[in-house]
Amino acid sequence: MTRTFDHLVAEAESVSVAGWDFSWLDGRATEQRPSWGYQRLMSDRLARASAALDIQTGGGEVLAGAPELPPLMVATEGWPPNIERATRLLHPLGVVVVADADEPPLPFGDEAFDLVVSRHPVAVRWDEVARVLRPGGTYFSQQVGPASVFELVEYFLGPQPEAVRRGRHPDDARAAAEAAGLEITDLRSESLRTEFFDIGAVVYFLRKVVWMVPGFTVARYRDRLRELHDRIGAEGPFVAHTTRFLIEARKPG
């Protein structure tokens, strides 16, 4: 039975978007994964660390997937629903979760960690990363690249200026890391296919990833959502492309 526009939208509006678990989208949307396998590489580094920090841990799901954690493991998060979720998930694993508003300075002393990791940070305070790293320590991160999912963004907001499309460029991340005194040891990027199979998936995604279409509500964009629902029904999945880059930087010893 084909579900109606109103049913799909109401369902997506009612579900919780706390945490960073996208399993609600199973069967409703797909996102190609980067070839490098961030969680595996992160886990390898955590297993060798003595003191590590995960910045902007979200609900803690990615960190909790590491099979071995260092003797000292700390995570920060700024969004209250995620802080609660991460605390419940990570405290039993021996991880300290620190509520942090994602504004400098980081609430840690100089040279506190030999490893800092972060998956999809909203912003990177490179000077603070350098400050809390020990000499010889490493920053390891997978980040959202430029113009990610902009086919969807521009469907709702219209064409974006080139300066906005270029935001989060890996070359800019390299320059900022080097300006903070870090040495880049790895930097690679990929463009990856994303498909939305129904309008509920679009609504859920935009409610969860709030910076994509700032101020998004179903009421505000109902007409555009209905048009997209009809388009998916006639043409098949809405296709967009995510961009991701992997960056690793070392603090000179």
Q: What is the mean pLDDT of the chain?
A: 96
Angle at 32 between CA 216 and CA 191, to 5 degrees: 80
For the chain, report the end-to-end CA distance as a whole number of angstroms. 63
Q: Which residues contact 209 (CB under 8 A, 6 or more apart)?
A: none
Q: Are 237 and 196 in contact (CB under 8 A)?
A: yes
Q: Are 176 and 123 in contact (CB under 8 A)?
A: no
pLDDT in tens, 165-181: 999 999 999 999 999 99
Q: Are 90 and 79 in contact (CB under 8 A)?
A: no
Reported pTM: 0.89
- pLDDT band for position 1 (cuts 50, 70, 90): low
Place of tokens 């070359």: 171
pLDDT in tens, 20-56: 789 999 999 999 999 999 999 999 999 999 999 999 9
What is the Cα–Cα distance from 27 to 207, expressed in whole angstroms?
A: 18
The encoded tokens of residue 180 equal 């903070």
Residues 84-90 have a mean pLDDT of 96
pLDDT in tens, 193-208: 999 999 999 999 999 9
Helices (H), 35-97: 38-48, 61-64, 80-90
What is the Cα–Cα distance from 230 to 198, expressed in whole angstroms?
A: 10
Residue 77 is predicted with a pLDDT of 96
Domain ranges, ordered by start, for the chain: 5-250
Residue 21 is predicted with a pLDDT of 83
CATH match for 5-250 among 3.40.50.1820, 3.60.15.10, 3.40.50.300, 3.40.50.150:
3.40.50.150
Residue 140: is its pLDDT beyond 90? Answer: yes
The SS3 call for residue 52 is strand
Helix 222-235 and helix 5-14: axis angle, to 10°?
A: 120
Residues 142-152 have a mean pLDDT of 97
The SS3 call for residue 196 is strand
